[in-house]
Structure 1
């Protein structure tokens, strides 16, 4: 159900003149992808046009790197992937940065999830490593949700005993995560980030890791300014990213907090808002439509 935006301040209208953009960063779910998880029409053509202009297109998602690399396989060469909500940044299979959790933190978060489950909350933990995601639950509804975002996943007896660098612990709550699971994780908020990344997802990460920090590090490495950067997002895990770019866009159906934080408003994810805005600002032609 889209949020009602009528009581909120309206971000500035999208400019129509071409801009000196060098970096385009976009969230995936609820932003680039439509509600059925489909990419927008003309994506590959537009990505090739951006490459020809020297503009770097960077997905920034709570999804794992393996999932993003598979989804963008036709255009992945040279692309930077900001995965796991900024805790893992990779280009051409080479790690640029990572921010793993300490094992004792992972153990304490997992113990909290187990207590919630024992109290009747329908929730499960996904321990997100560099090589794979790890779960203990084996029921089909839970695994179906996990496998949407983590193509590399393993069922293990104890997720706290895996041999991997753990980037974050993601919790899938079959109820409203913002009202149930997130408050239960409040004890971790003083030392770590507890981020509601979707209607049913909550992520626990290091305080130093988020999409915004990853974008700033990328800007420094490439010599790109906020004035040359566009970012797009729709949910609470995109908030820090809104502060990294002069061209920050909330989707029309975004969470109200994201709309308040962004400088501009883009059409919804179901209206191809990211690509329409990028093409408009950079003066790119609309993708050719098949005839016949």
Structure 2
């Protein structure tokens, strides 16, 4: 019996037009009434997720910043958080790869993204995603707790930067490829899968009673802790290898249809 459902957003629950099918919000309300916990698991911030799901009346949970924070939608109660220490942030900012690869860097708090000397391309992306953005003159101006550091590479993530980070990234941190142009850096041990395990432990839910949906490499840890693991049909073939099942594409409401059929029996 399914008791916990976690879904990634971009490329999974969110269609390519940037929208979530209106039926999803009602579906989440139905799940709540049936005591099935629905979790939006994303690299997005808490404030973004809260805005994305403002049409949901029932309770649900948000895994933000790839697992760095877990919060409830109502009143924003926090279940877990893992902020990056100041010295570890500085160690990332001192890495040479960002300059060499032409990467834009952003620092993410629970509500905003901080950027310095960023390209117009990244600024436009943040605007389209409705990311609250603060432009700063110096990274020393950032006083908020930071949960994620992101590289945006306009020419795409390549093996050179992966190899560089594997060799040079502070051992207190780890990175994940969250999109074809994105690398996210969090504290070591932080992942969507670890966040799901925290929720499973709190509510005494087993792996066998957990369903998870994803489309990219930062979703693989979710597949490990959910027996009912679904890669989207639009996911890379390598990602599909780690999931037990394949759902229809994000544009064909794969998450919605799979939940209706296999979790609710409709």
Aligned counterpart, 1:184: 164
Max Rg structure: 1
1:183–1:36 Cα change, 3 Å:
farther
Native 8 Å contact 1:182 1:202 kept in 2: no
The question of 1:157 aligning with 2:143 is answered no
SS in 2 for 1:74: coil
Native 8 Å contact 1:181 1:202 kept in 2: no
Measured on the aligned residues, the alpha-carbon RMSD in Å equals 1.9
Runs of 4+ off more than 6 Å: none
Q: Distance in 1 between matches of 2:81 and 2:16?
A: 29
Among candidates 78, 81, 98, match of residue 98 of structure 1: 81
- Post-superposition Cα deviations, 1:52-75, rounded to whole Å, max 9, x if no partner, equal 211111100000010000010011
Give the C-alpha shift of residue 178 in structure 1.
3.8
- Post-superposition Cα deviations, 1:21-48, rounded to whole Å, max 9, x if no partner, equal 1111000001111222221351122122
Aligned counterpart, 2:42: 61
Among candidates 27, 30, 48, match of residue 46 of structure 1: 27
Where structure 2 has 5 or more consecutive residues not aligned to the other structure, the ranges are none
Q: Distance in 1 between matches of 2:97 and 2:85?
A: 22
Native 8 Å contact 2:234 2:250 kept in 1: yes
Q: Distance in 2 between matches of 1:240 and 1:130?
A: 22
Native 8 Å contact 1:117 1:123 kept in 2: yes
Q: Which has the higher contact order (CA 8 A, sep 6+)?
A: 1
Give the C-alpha shift of residue 254 in structure 1.
1.1
Give the C-alpha shift of residue 49 in structure 1.
1.7
Aligned counterpart, 2:183: 202
Deviates more, 1:72-81 or 1:199-208: 72-81
How do residues 226-237 of structure 1 correspond to structure 2 at under 5 angstroms? 226-237=207-218
Aligned counterpart, 1:124: 104
Native 8 Å contact 2:178 2:218 kept in 1: yes
SS in 2 for 1:243: helix
Question: TM-score normalized by structure 1?
Answer: 0.84
1:180–1:75 Cα change, 3 Å:
farther
Give the C-alpha shift of residue 202 in structure 1.
0.1
Deviates more, 1:52-61 or 1:171-180: 171-180
Where structure 1 has 5 or more consecutive residues not aligned to the other structure, the ranges are 1-19, 286-292
The question of 1:107 aligning with 2:90 is answered yes
